[in-house]
Every structure is written in structure tokens, then in C-alpha cells.
Structure 1
Amino acid sequence: MQVLNRPWGTMHYRIDGPANAPTVIFANSLGTDLRLWDAALAEIPGIRAIRFDKRGHGLSDLGGDYAIADLADDVAALIEATSDGPVIICGLSIGGMIAQNLAARRPDLIRAAVLSNTAVKMGTAESWTDRIRTIETRGIAAIADMVMERWFAPTFRARPELALWRNMVIRTSAPGYIAACRALAAANLTVQTAGLRLPTLVIAGDSDGSSPADLVRATAALIPGARFHIIADAGHLPCVEQPRAFAATVIPFLQEHSR
């Protein structure tokens, strides 16, 4: 296991792939750890993939309350510690918001971005407050079935491995999950994202209940020249539900902008 020491504690990360291959940073969604990318990375050869557990998720320390910019600072530190020169970042959901923030504030570190199932603003302050209140009073398991319905298309929800993703959510630290909800409630990246001027691929799922395709499309429209693609029969986590289709969408973009 690999760790990066941060002012708030220990950040867990993992590197896979040849040392001389193009580096791609992968940022996870709310309620998942770096295993989110396992199936997709099995379909994406020829890269040096760096994954991490954000604060309060997976094997990383809790880290207290934070904003999206703080999570972006963690990724900046990870890039500086592990990579030479700018990298490509691929972020999903809150990971996509991290990617937007980092690309806007540290363009020296990011050469291109893949933004999957994300937006400049996700949900409302009221919706996140309601979710936090439910977790505080009834536990994180109380939201698990709702999350599964929003995350996955009906085809995937009928598969036995759905239980594994439900378990990942309910085993996430409740304080860590709540801290991320508070960061999402406060986040609005419209101005930052509208100022981006880097190659960008934006991906949506046609059955996404958390970030519907039209919301993701509107974010893509803010970035001049951004490409937009919808993956069929996929919800909020197309890298899980449709890893081959996800890889087929991403690989040409990575090849084009990796050097």
C-alpha cells in the first residue's frame, strides 16, 4: 500500500502500469473507494494509473470538514509527489468536481480532463442536508437502497454484484460521507469551469439518477471544444456497469492527449 502524508492525515493511493507510460489520475465518486475503477482499468492498457481514496473514504484518514478545493489540493500534492509534468485527470461525480476545480486552479498540473457523470453543481443544499440528517439519525444503511437506484440502470440492479456496491456504501465512514455531502452542498463551479481551456471529454449515462445526462451535457457546454458522449444502459457509474464501453470512449481521448 502507498500513502501520502497530508496535514489532515494519511491519504491512501495506488499506482498501476509502466513507470514510463502516460499518467492518468482517477478520482472516485461519493461513497466509493479506489476499487471503483477496477473493471475499467482492466480494459485500458498502456497508461500509468494513479488512484486514491479521498478523505473519509477507503483507507484514507477522515480529515475533518473540507471543501472541493481542499480535495483538489490533495490531488495536486499527489501529482507533485508521484509524477513529472502535467497529467490527465479522470474524475467521476464528486471526483469530476475535484477535476474541474484542480484544472481551473492548477493548469500547470493538468493537460486534459475526462469528466464522468458530474456537473458544476450537483443536487441542492436542501437535498444534501436531508441526506445528512437521515444518516445522522438512522445510519448510512438507511440511504443505501436509494443510492443504488440512483447509481445503477435496471439491468445492473438485477445482477448479484449489486450487493457488493451496496456494501461499499454502507461500510463507508459516516463522518467521511457526511463531510463529502457538506462539500457538495456548498459547491458551485460554474465560473471556474466556464474558464477552462483544456481538452475535455465529458461522459454521461443514459440512466443516471444522480447526474442526469442533460445536467452533464450542460456542464460540457460551458467548456469550449469539450466532447460529450452518452453511454447506453448505464447509470451514475458507467465505469462499473459498462467498463468496455467506458474504456472505448476514453481510450482515443487518452491516446490523443497523453503526450
Structure 2
Amino acid sequence: MHIVTTDGLVLNLSDTGPRDGRVVIFANSLGTDLRVWDALLPHLPAGLRIIRYDKRGHGLSDAGAGPGTMERLVSDAEEICAALALSDVTFVGLSIGGLIGQGLAARRPDLVRALVLMDTAAKIGTPEMWQTRIDAVRAGGIAPIAAAILERWFAPAFREGRPDDFALWRNMLVRTPAEGYAAACEAIAGADLTESTRGLALPVLAMAGDADGSTPPDLVRATAALCGADFHLVATAGHLPCVEQPAAVAALITPFLERTAR
């Protein structure tokens, strides 16, 4: 366990692998913590320096006060890089983590070497849709809406064929602090990165689970087209393909790392 302090908040992160290895930063999705990457890591090449972190309001990280903004979340990622003296990073972002990655790559092209966008987009949903979810979470917590979220997260084969694992992911979701979850929703609601993502000049890989109900494949494909990214479908996966199909995800990321090596 490692700690970085930014904007008066304590952020929890994991820093593993050789100090001189290629740096790959993983940013998790809404309602999950850094454990969302656990199944993927064993399938990745040896020798990487792997940074995973709980974004504010999730996992063991502080939530902070005030409305959530994408600018703050991007600044948190930037501060983590500064605190660990990281440079030339490859950023892998899932869902809201992909928005953070797009924002960081646009703000700091000197810092980000390559970008992997997983089940994300330059703009996700509408402000009205997110406000409905924010109001529901602040009124009654996450549990009453968990079933609908989980149906979008996981393909039927996972929900029905791995009930014990599915129960653990439900636990992770509903135990996310309600205010941290709501603030992250606010950040997504206010984020439209279409123009800055269109201007990205770094290598980008994009992928989506073929059964994703949160960021459907066509939405991810359209964002890939904005920045000239290769786009891939991950079969039999929902919104969290790194959980359902880790070997298939690694089979896409590994050659991308090889192509973007220096």
C-alpha cells in the first residue's frame, strides 16, 4: 500500500514491478477500486512498473468536498505522477478512468507516451441522465440501483455462470461511498472531451466488451475514430472486460506495448 497526498486528500495506490520498468498506470471505473485490474495483471508482460490507484471517493482514497469535476480527477493523476517522479507513462483507463486518461494526455502530452481506452468515450451519457443517478444515490445509496448497474457491467455468461464472483463485484459496488460515487458521476456529467480527444497525437488503443450496456461498442468506436485509435471488440464481455476476459484484453494490450516501445 502506498499513499499520495493531493489537494489535501489521501489517495491509495499500488506501485509494483521494477523501478526502471516501463510505467503503466491503470485507472479504474465508477464504483470499483484498484482490484478491478487483479485478473489482468498476471497476463501482462514481465518487467512493467504497474501503478494502480483508487480515484478519490473510491476504495481507500479520501473523497474530498464539493462537486466532482474531471479537472480534479485529471489533476489527481498528474499529482500521482509527480509524487512518484513518473514520466513517459502508458495510461490504461476503464470507463471514467478512460476519461481521466484522455484528459491527462491532452493536458500533459510530455508525460503520456501512449493511451489505452477501455469501455469509455469522450462523452458518456447526458447531464440529465447522470443527475437522475446522482439524486437516486444521494437519496437511497447505491444498493437500490445496483441490479441495473451490474446488468450493464457483466455479460449474461458471467452473471449466471460465476455467481460467487458476481456477488463479490456487487459488494464492491454497493460498498463504494455514496458521496464518492455521486461526485464521480458529477465529473462524468460535466465532461465533454470531444475536441481535446480529437486533437490527441499519441498512439491510442481502444476496446469494448461486446455486451457492454454502459458504454456500448458503437460509442467507444466513435471515440476511437476521433483520435485515430485501433478499435477492438472483446467477445463475451460487458463493461469490465479486464474482469471477464483478462487474457483477451492482455492479448490486445501486449502488442500495443511492443509497438509503442522506445
- TM-score, normalised to structure 2's length? 0.96
Which residue does the alignment assign to 1:166? 170
CA distance in structure 2 between the partners assigned to 1:168 and 1:60 by the alignment: 14
- Structure 1 residues 166-218: Cα deviation after superposition (integer angstroms, max 9, x where no partner): 00010000000000011111110001100000000001110000000000000
Which residue does the alignment assign to 2:183? 179
| TM-superposed deviation, 1:42 | 1.4
Alignment partner of 1:73: what SS? helix
| TM-superposed deviation, 1:255 | 1.9
Which residue does the alignment assign to 2:113? 111
- Structure 1 residues 229-250: Cα deviation after superposition (integer angstroms, max 9, x where no partner): 1100011000000000011111
CA distance in structure 2 between the partners assigned to 1:184 and 1:111 by the alignment: 24
Which residue does the alignment assign to 2:236? 233
CA distance in structure 2 between the partners assigned to 1:253 and 1:88 by the alignment: 10
List aligned pairs for 1:1-259, cutoff 5 A: 1-46=1-46, 47-64=48-65, 65-158=67-160, 159-160=162-163, 161-224=165-228, 226-259=229-262
Q: Does 247-256 or 110-119 show the bigger shift?
A: 247-256
CA distance in structure 2 between the partners assigned to 1:77 and 1:67 by the alignment: 16
Alignment partner of 1:103: what SS? helix
The amino acid that maps onto 2:10 is: T
Alignment partner of 1:55: what SS? coil
| TM-superposed deviation, 1:258 | 3.5
The amino acid that maps onto 1:117 is: D
CA distance in structure 2 between the partners assigned to 1:3 and 1:172 by the alignment: 19
Contact 1:69 1:102 in 2 (8 A): no
5+ long unaligned stretches in structure 1:
none
5+ long unaligned stretches in structure 2:
none
Q: Which portions of structure 1, spanning 4 or more consecutive aligned residues, are displaced by more than 3 angstroms?
A: none
State the Cα RMSD in Å.
1.0
Count of residues paired in the alignment:
258
The amino acid that maps onto 1:181 is: C
Alignment partner of 2:58: what SS? coil
CA distance in structure 1 between the partners assigned to 2:78 and 2:261 by the alignment: 18
Contact 1:87 1:258 in 2 (8 A): no
The amino acid that maps onto 1:110 is: V
Contact 1:27 1:95 in 2 (8 A): yes
Contact 2:68 2:185 in 1 (8 A): no
- Structure 1 residues 130-187: Cα deviation after superposition (integer angstroms, max 9, x where no partner): 1112112222101111110000100011112100110001000000000001111111
| TM-superposed deviation, 1:256 | 2.0
Percent identity at matched positions? 55
